[in-house]
Amino acid sequence: MTAILSARDLRREFVTKRPLFGAPTVVRAVDGVSLDIAAGETFAIVGESGCGKSTLARLLLRLIDPTGGEVWYDGEDLAHLPADRMRALRRDLQFIFQDPFSSLNPQMSVGALIEEPMRAHGIGTPAERRARVADLLSRVGLRPEHADRYPHEFSGGQRQRIGIARALASGPKVLIGDEPVSALDVSIQAQVVNLLEDLKDEFGLTLVIIAHDLAVIRHMATRVAVMYLGEVVELAPAADLYAAPKHPYTETLLAAIPVAAWGARPARTLVEGDPPNPIAPPPGCRFHPRCPYATDICRTERPVLTDAGEGRSVACHRAAELSLAGLDGAEPGRSPAAAARFALYARAMAGDPDKTNDPETGQTQPRQTGD
């Protein structure tokens, strides 16, 4: 595997406000993460809210500086580059923000927003930049004339498409999306996910997706890293991880994915309680207070991420002896309304570009565009 982006013992600490008496407390949002992301793959980083995945994403692009460790891109350590060199490399490394409502400047037109990265990096003449703006809008499913409009005139799904077009404007090699569909309606999520997959293939991108919903990235990720309280606890090819997880925390994340029908998978015990206080994580394995398989060694010795064979790594003392439940090929469940919307979208993609039949009523409906 040829890595295009790598982290080595990456750490980020946040110091809380110093109290009147005593020392300030430290939150280790990312604590000793090491991983390699291969050129051309779709790499997913998943976990509960507060696990450190968004902080890790920002560290990988040096949107924030690490407390320690290294981030390597194309033979250079981003963590220790001077500002001018880091600025030049940002052309290759772009970010899609989670919130499509606050990540776009409301005072700038869509065309100006997409053109801004090109101006910052001195790409093209004004006429060439305008032409590229029109081309990018078309590629993300919008119209060239939308360049003259402003963000408040668009829906959430359309705004996220604008954010994707802006991220592509500089011609990046690596694109990181921080939960790029979590703020969108479920009927729009599939469209944006499909768009990202298509653009990845078209532009030859390396795609890193941050997500808390494993159902979203199940069919698009090449490999998946699972984070818990600042640490990577499992790393595996996506198909293997979903079929047979090796860490109990991964099993609980998979158990939370709804499936299409009762009985599609065996019943299991969901994890109870909330994650421990990150200011004072428990000794030993950080998951042991919530783990149904924990033993004495889990409470006293901290496991390290260890090679488990077949391209997998896991940080669990009992990984070799546990047989954990995966999804066994069960598909994520959908409500009847969501299923109807997905069917409508699929028919539109396969048939008449302007009209399709409503799967519930059988009546001809105009195709929904823009979101």
- Whether 181 and 245 map to the same domain: the answer is yes
Q: Would strands 223-228 and 26-38 be described as parallel, antiparallel, or unpaired?
A: unpaired
Per the domain annotation, does 60 fall within a domain? yes
Q: Which two tokens stand for residue 337?
A: 């309304």
Do both 217 and 358 map to the same domain? no
* pLDDT above 60: residue 367: no
**Quick one: average pLDDT of 65-78?**
95
**123 falls within a domain:** no
State whether 227 and 345 are in the same domain.
no
Rounded to an integer, the average pLDDT of 2-31 is 89
In a 10 Å sphere around its CB, with 0-12 CB exposed, 13-18 middle and 19+ buried, how is residue 343 labelled? middle
Q: Are residues 350 and 326 in the same domain?
A: no
Q: Is there a single domain that holds both residue 180 and residue 35? A: yes
- Is residue 27, in this structure, part of any structural domain at all? yes
Same domain, 272 and 360: no
Q: Which residues contact 87 (CB under 8 A, 6 or more apart)?
A: none
Q: Residue 160 domain-assigned?
A: no
278 and 354, same structural domain?
Answer: no
pLDDT at 297: 96
Whether residue 294 is contained in a domain is answered as yes
Are residues 298 and 311 located together in one domain of the fold?
Answer: yes
Same domain assignment for residues 318 and 229? yes
Summarised one tens digit per residue, pLDDT across range 319-365 is 999 999 888 655 554 555 555 665 665 666 666 544 444 444 444 44
Type of residue numbered 14? F
111-148, pLDDT tens digit by residue? 999 999 999 999 999 999 999 999 999 999 999 999 99
**Structural domain includes residue 205:** yes
> Are residues 191 and 80 part of one domain?
yes
Per-residue pLDDT at 199 exceeds 70: yes
- Per cent of the chain over pLDDT 70 is 84
Q: Is residue 114 part of a domain?
A: no
pLDDT, averaged across the chain: 86
What's the 3-state SS for the chain? Answer: CCEEEEEEEEEEEEECCCCCCCCCCEEEEEEEEEEEEECCCEEEEECCCCCCHHHHHHHHCCCCCCCEEEEEECCEEHHHCCHHHHHHHCCCEEEECCCCCCCCCCCCCHHHHHHHHHHHCCCCCHHHHHHHHHHHHHHCCCCHHHHHCCHHHCCHHHHHHHHHHHHHCCCCCEEEEECCCCCCCHHHHHHHHHHHHHHHHHHCCEEEEEECCHHHHCCCCCEEEEEECCEEEEEEEHHHHHHCCCCHHHHHHHHCCCECCCCCCCCCCCCCCCCCCCCCCCCCCCCHHHCCCCCHHHHHCCCCCEEEECCEEECCCCCCCCCCCCCCCCCECCCHHHHHHHHHHHHHHHCCCCEEECCCCCCEEECCCCC
What residue numbers bound the domain in which 351 lies? 336-366
| Domain annotation covers residue 232 | yes
* The pLDDT value given to residue 361: 41
Q: How far apart are the first and last CA of the chain?
A: 37
Average pLDDT estimate for 44-58: 94
Quote the distance between the C-alpha of residue 59 and its chain's center. 14
Is 299 in contact with 289 (CB distance < 8 Å)? no
Beta-carbon contacts of residue 13 (< 8 Å; ≥ 6 apart)? 26, 27, 28, 29, 67
Same domain, 202 and 71: yes
Report the domain count for the chain. Answer: 2
Percent of the chain with pLDDT over 90: 64
Amino acid at 100: P
Q: pLDDT digit string (tens) for 219-257?
A: 889 999 999 999 999 999 999 999 999 999 999 999 888
The pLDDT tens digits for 265-301 are 555 556 777 788 888 899 999 999 999 999 999 999 9
pLDDT at 180: 87
What CATH code is carried by the domain that includes residue 288?
3.40.50.300
Higher pLDDT, 259 or 156: 156
Query: Do 198 and 56 belong together in one domain?
Result: yes
